[in-house]
């Protein structure tokens, strides 16, 4: 799964990778958590890529209240075309979720050890995401809530010793196909696979990341002693 991640990259690096038009006011975030607002990129009606701030935790149209979203922060790639919460969004509302690292927890003696996984060069990347627009049935006159979820798949060789699953990470050359409204379902499914681990690293970080209130750049520092895993 993916339950926490980071986005600390400069705006210009994000614009270069994703090609969106806006200049959102972004603060570095080292501990992004479910139900918070997150940066996504999606196609607009003009056919251009646009940055948007969405609530993390998908609210399907049939959700009775916002609490549903906290249970839908991830969507398993293997069943995304069949699950009622995700299948319509998979068909018509796909997005890129901007990140530059994510956390997974490894069970160890004495508790779970968090690891940060990121590109070796520290650059940004995209999770495969879905989004929805939800109207609160208890407040029909309020503006709709836009929310998103992150797709997950089985772990690659780098992640497997830490956790059995990982987010779907799309290489830059696949961004266009993921966003395109006319992409065939079978072509989209082919993108939902574990990323090749070369050029990525996983390293232990402080257990301070366990607490959502902690969101400072010190969380990115390797824990001591450094036990870095790398496939180069």
Neighbours of 75 (CB within 10 A): 25
Active-site residue, 104 included: yes
Residue with tokens 């301070």: 208
- Give the long-range contacts of residues 12-19, CB within 8 A, separation 24 or more: 13/123, 13/124, 14/39, 14/98, 14/124, 17/123, 17/124, 17/125, 17/126, 17/172, 18/49, 18/51, 18/96, 18/98, 18/126, 18/175, 19/49
Active-site residue, 95 included: no
Q: What is the CA radius of gyration of the chain?
A: 17
Which of 2, 95, 118, 148 is labelled catalytic? 2
Which of 95, 104, 118, 148 is labelled catalytic? 104
Residues annotated catalytic, as ranges: 2, 104
């Amino acid at each position: 799964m993916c339950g926490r991640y980071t986005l600390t990259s400069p705006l210009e690096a994000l614009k270069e990778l994703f090609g969106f038009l806006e200049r959102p006011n972004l603060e570095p975030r080292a501990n992004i958590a479910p139900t918070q607002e997150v940066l996504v990129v999606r196609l607009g009606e003009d056919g251009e890529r646009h940055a948007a701030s969405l609530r993390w935790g998908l609210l399907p149209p049939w959700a009775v209240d916002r609490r549903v979203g906290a249970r839908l922060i991830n969507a398993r790639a293997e069943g995304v075309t069949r699950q009622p919460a995700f299948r319509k969004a998979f068909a018509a509302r796909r997005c890129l979720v901007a990140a530059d690292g994510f956390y997974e927890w490894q069970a160890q003696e004495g508790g779970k050890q968090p690891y940060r996984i990121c590109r070796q060069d520290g650059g940004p990347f995209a999770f495969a995401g879905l989004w929805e627009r939800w109207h609160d049935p208890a407040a029909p006159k309020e503006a709709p809530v836009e929310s998103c979820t992150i797709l997950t798949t089985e772990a690659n060789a780098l992640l497997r010793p830490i956790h059995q699953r990982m987010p779907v990470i799309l290489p830059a050359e696949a961004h266009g196909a993921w966003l395109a409204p006319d992409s065939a379902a079978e072509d989209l499914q082919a993108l939902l696979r574990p990323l090749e681990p070369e050029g990525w690293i996983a390293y232990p970080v402080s257990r301070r990341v366990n607490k959502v209130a902690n969101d400072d750049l010190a969380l990115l520092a390797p824990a001591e002693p450094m036990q870095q895993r790398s496939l180069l």
